[in-house]
Structure formats: C-alpha cells, structure tokens
Amino acid sequence: MTTVAFQGEHGAFSEEAIRQHFGSDVETLPCRTFGEIFAAVEEGRADFGALPVENAVAGSINKAYDLLLEHDLRVSGEIYLPVRHHLLASPGTRLEDVRRVRSHPQALAQCEDYLAAHGWHPEPWYDTAGSAKDLAAQPEEGVAVIASRLAAEIYGLEVLAADIQDRRWNVTRFFIIGHEEAPPTPVAKTSIVFAVPHQAGALYACLGEFATRGINLTKLESRPRRNRPWHYVFYLDCEGHWQDDTCRQALVGLLARAAFVKLLGSYPAAEMPPMPG
C-alpha cells in the first residue's frame, strides 16, 4: 500500500488532499514539521509526501519552497484542495452553548467574521486537526473547534456548522514529492528554481527564453538567497513538461543565462476546483 507523509495530525486538510489525490486506499504518515515530511520520504518510511505550497488567500508558504530548494526530491504531482472549515464540538453540544473556539491561528483568521458575528472568543491552537483531537480527548463545556469534516469523523465530534470560512474561494495547492519522476502528459506543468547574474536585464533575458517560445508562466515569485544577502532566487511554474521539445529548449536557454537552475519537477497539471456558488 502507498504511504504518504503529511504535516499535522490525522484529520488535517493535508490528509484530505492525500485522499483526494490517491483515493481512500492509502496509508498516511503524520509528521510534526514540513522538514519531517522530506525526511520520511528520503529515509523510505513514506513513498511520497504531500506538501502545501500556497493558498489562494494567504499566498505562498515560504518554508515549503525553501525546503524544495534544499532537498533533492522531485515534484511529481499537484493537488488543489478547497479548504472547507467546519465548527465541531463534543456530542450533545448546541450552537448556543459555544463560548470559545479553538483552531490554528490561520483557520481562526479565515473564519474571523463568522466568529465575531457570534461573539465567540478565538483561542489559537497548534493545529486544526490537533484542536479536534485534544477536544475529543478532554471535552470542555462551551468549547468548539474549527477543523475539517474528516477530523469530525476521526475523533467522533459533531458538526455544528459547515463551511464557515469568510471567503468562498479558499483553496490550498499541494505538491506531491518523492523520488519518482512523472512521465509526460498532455496537460503538464514544470516547476523550477533559478538565480540570475547580478546585472541589468538578467531576469528579463531569462524570462525571454519562455516568452519567445510562447510558453505560459503560471507562477513567478522571488525569495531571498540564504547564503547571499540581497540576492534572490526565483520560483517559476510554466505550462508543459520538461521533456517536451519547446519546454526543453527554453530550459536549455535558461541554463545558458542563469547563475544556476534547479528542476523541481514536471507533473500532470491538476484541475482547478469549480468556484463555489
């Protein structure tokens, strides 16, 4: 059976993403940190890792991208997961009984308007699924948590309210990382990281390798280089597989112009989830 590592407790949104991508017949391995995901795959304790890399509301997850640069695992897939926050409580709790709501600070922030409308006090917790796990282990009167429906099923909590996030379009993008390389597919993406010489027009010339070949860029973002202050690396996603002729030519041209290039991987492009009504 395939084993996939993720950060968080069982019932985390990352685990929902894994089931969406691999199906229900998959074994999951909880990890405390993003770094432990990489270690689990590198040491053979997991076949793949599910790594959240950006959110449609909060933006890129910088730690995830830093680790992709530091390690040699390949990106072999992507997942778009609609984040649906649910209000969970111990069995028998009514909505009018709730006084305090626990969850990860980001989840609390994404449900801020809903909490304020009910006059509930937010209590930051280390993890969304962790807040559900802890409440199930030690029920407290007047306390609810924000987590996934999967967490409710795993820990035996009741869903008091569904889809309580303030923004309808709240989607997290995940990379599937592992040792394997994904074969070419008709609709693919390629992710790379590169740096440019510290001279005028260098970035323009690098990006021109894609523009002149009609290759669409789906992401471009800079991050500071840890070993060189005020120098930057660029994370780029483009349409196409690196083995496609046009994409390969662009990468060869980029290699000639950039200070360094690292191919993170080419993978089947995931279908964007429909906009909620």
**In the listed set 134, 150, 178, which residue is the last one of a domain according to the structure?**
178
- Domains in the chain, number: 3
pLDDT value of position 277? 56
User: Which CATH number is 215's domain given?
Assistant: 3.30.70.260
Examine residue 248 and state whether it is found in any structural domain, yes or no.
yes
Q: Are residues 25 and 145 in the same domain?
A: no
Examine residue 277 and state whether it is found in any structural domain, yes or no.
no
Q: Are residues 66 and 174 in the same domain?
A: yes
Q: Are residues 199 and 174 in the same domain?
A: no
**Residue with structure tokens 């802890």?**
134
- In angstroms, the Cα distances linking 38 to 108, 117, 174, 178, 226 are 28, 41, 14, 8, 19
Examine residue 100 and state whether it is found in any structural domain, yes or no.
yes
Q: Are residues 64 and 174 in the same domain?
A: yes
Q: Are residues 79 and 7 in the same domain?
A: yes
Round to whole Å and give the CA distance between 54 and 81: 11
Q: Are residues 70 and 174 in the same domain?
A: yes
Q: Active-site positions?
A: 172, 174
User: Which CATH number is 47's domain given?
Assistant: 3.40.190.10
Examine residue 276 and state whether it is found in any structural domain, yes or no.
no
- CB within 8 Å of 98: residues ≥ 6 apart: 87, 89, 118, 120, 142, 143, 144, 160
Round to whole Å and give the CA distance between 75 and 255: 20
Q: Are residues 67 and 93 in the same domain?
A: no
The 10s digit of each residue's pLDDT in 34-87 is 999 999 999 999 999 999 999 887 789 999 999 999 999 999 999 999 999 999
Q: Are residues 40 and 64 in the same domain?
A: yes
Parts of the chain with a pLDDT under 50 = none
Q: Are residues 90 and 77 in the same domain?
A: no
Examine residue 275 and state whether it is found in any structural domain, yes or no.
no
Examine residue 250 and state whether it is found in any structural domain, yes or no.
yes
Examine residue 274 and state whether it is found in any structural domain, yes or no.
no
Q: Are residues 215 and 78 in the same domain?
A: no
Q: Are residues 75 and 98 in the same domain?
A: no
| CB distance 217 to 237 below 8 Å | yes
Round to whole Å and give the CA distance between 17 and 83: 10
Q: Are residues 53 and 152 in the same domain?
A: no
| CB distance 183 to 267 below 8 Å | no
In terms of residue numbers, what domain contains 43?
3-83+170-178
The 10s digit of each residue's pLDDT in 183-206 is 999 999 999 999 999 899 999 999
